[in-house]
């Protein structure tokens, strides 16, 4: 179930990269931690995204996601939320826009690794 969901969201994000709706992305959260050997239970797929100059609503439409901008007091700039139905179950996916300083840290050291049979950029 998670393998199919991860493959589908990575395919959509790669299309967004080619269409210049997105500057970069990387897997974060529980699946990223597990990739680096720190086992952590998770029920969703989390990715950090850097938009570049595109508008969040354009990426949201491309991904069939909802976009929730965050306030100035929130450490996140915004979150895209979507759910992918895989093997009869819904898999929640969150794409997180970090503040620019955290984006530089999170997406500066990224390695493309095999995660659940899918080649994915993973925050290191």
Instruction: Quote the pLDDT of residue 4.
Output: 93
Q: Which residue has the higher pLDDT, 76 or 84?
A: 84
Contacts of 8 (CB under 8 A, 6+ apart): 84, 86
Domain of 79: which CATH number? Answer: 3.30.460
Per residue in 3-59, pLDDT tens? 899 999 999 999 999 999 999 999 988 778 777 777 766 788 999 999 877 899 999
Pairing of β 78-86 and β 66-69? antiparallel
Query: Strands across the sheet with 45-50, in order?
Result: 66-69, 78-86, 89-97, 45-50, 24-28, 118-123, 110-115
Mean of per-residue pLDDT scores for the chain: 89
- pLDDT band at 71, cuts 50/70/90? confident
Instruction: Quote the pLDDT of residue 53.
Output: 79
0.75 exceeded by the pTM? yes
Instruction: Quote the pLDDT of residue 40.
Output: 67
User: Which residues constitute the domain of residue 88?
Assistant: 2-123
Question: Comparing 7-11, 53-57, 70-74, 80-84, which segment has the lowest mean pLDDT?
Answer: 70-74
């Amino acid at each position: 179930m998670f393998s199919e969901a991860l493959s589908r969201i990575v395919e959509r994000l790669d299309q967004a990269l080619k269409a210049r709706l997105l500057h970069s992305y990387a897997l974060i959260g529980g699946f990223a931690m597990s990739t680096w050997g720190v086992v952590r239970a998770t029920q969703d797929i989390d990715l950090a995204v850097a938009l570049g100059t595109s508008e969040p609503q354009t990426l949201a439409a491309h991904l069939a996601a909802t976009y929730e901008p965050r306030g100035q007091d929130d450490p996140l700039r915004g979150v895209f939320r979507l759910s992918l139905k895989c093997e009869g179950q819904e898999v929640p996916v969150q794409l997180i826009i970090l503040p620019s300083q955290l984006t530089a840290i999170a997406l500066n050291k990224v390695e493309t690794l095999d995660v659940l049979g899918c080649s994915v950029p993973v925050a290191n």
